[in-house]
Amino acid sequence: MNVSYRPIGVIRTPHHSPETTPIQPVYAQDYEGQVEVFPEFEDGLKDIEGFSHIYLIYHLHRAEPPRLIVKPFLQDVERGIFATRAPCRPNPIGLSIVHLVRREGGVLHVRGVDILDGTPLLDIKPYTTRFDCIQTLRNGWQDDVDDATAEQRGRRKKMEGARETSE
């Protein structure tokens, strides 16, 4: 079976290097970006501004070749790719929950972007606590990572000239 997707837009961010991009939105709260939805899909944004957060689903266009065993960013221990969020996946699909600041036509202004500039956007879905807020019972190997290590490794080095929020 062959599966293919067509981008609906492009994500613009201050991140140009995978090595300096925060690894998750929680470590990228200082960074703003824009989601540029192509004109033929703009009508699909109707009512999106009613949500404070959205899922961005995207193609990891600069991911390394797939590997089944990786060392996740937060640890120096090898793990199975499906027990991590590493980008070198068999299907390089990315998922981030970002804060929707505002909409201007076909452009969504977002905060908390951990995505490389120029990333092809595949889909947008609203985040809602009614469906998406789940209290986990266990977090696998991540329960062994202390908060200070997660913070230091997750934020990485801030890029010079990155556009940050004023709030």
CATH class, domain 9-153, is mainly beta
* Segments making up each domain of the chain, as ranges: 9-153
124 to each of 41, 54, 104, 111, 117, how far by Cα in Å? 11, 7, 16, 15, 17
Distance CA 60, CA 143 (A): 26
Across 15-43, average pLDDT:
90
| Residue 148, C-beta contacts closer than 8 angstroms, at least 6 positions apart | none
Residue 146, C-beta contacts closer than 8 angstroms, at least 6 positions apart: none
The tens digit of pLDDT for each residue in 95-148 reads 999 999 999 999 999 999 999 999 999 999 999 988 887 777 776 666 676 667
Q: Which pLDDT belongs to residue 163?
A: 41
Task: Tell me the pLDDT band of 23, cut-offs 50, 70 and 90.
Answer: confident
